[in-house]
């Protein structure tokens, strides 16, 4: 069945300037689709980690691919420990 989306109001965006990332995003989706429980993207600021994860969230939340996850959520850390978790999960 369809996953329960934990954060239906999470902000989504599509950045047309993010070129050359589709293959990488598809590879990450494939890894997650195969049942890997989590991934971690690391790197210097400004290279597109947040945009990549936001796009992956949209793909999974919209059930565009088959996967094994029962819940899908997107939490954006804005610098404070409790603001995003409390607001998005209520």
CA distance 38 to 78: 21
Q: Is the pLDDT at 2 greater than 80, yes or no?
A: no
Rounded to 5 degrees, what are φ and ψ at 4? -85, 120
Secondary structure (3-state) at 71: strand
Q: Is the pLDDT at 15 greater than 80, yes or no?
A: no
CA distance 81 to 62: 28
Instruction: Name the most confidently modeled range: 2-16, 55-69, 73-87.
Output: 55-69
Q: Is the pLDDT at 85 greater than 60, yes or no?
A: no
pLDDT of the residue at 65: 87
């Amino acid at each position: 069945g369809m996953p329960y989306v934990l954060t239906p109001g999470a902000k989504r965006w599509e950045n047309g300037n993010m070129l050359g990332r589709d293959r990488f995003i598809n590879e990450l989706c494939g890894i997650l689709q195969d049942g890997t429980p989590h991934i971690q993207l690391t790197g210097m600021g400004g290279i597109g980690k947040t945009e990549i994860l936001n796009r992956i969230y949209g793909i999974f939340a919209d059930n565009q691919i088959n996967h094994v996850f029962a819940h899908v959520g997107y939490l954006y850390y804005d610098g404070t420990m409790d603001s995003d978790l409390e607001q998005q999960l209520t």
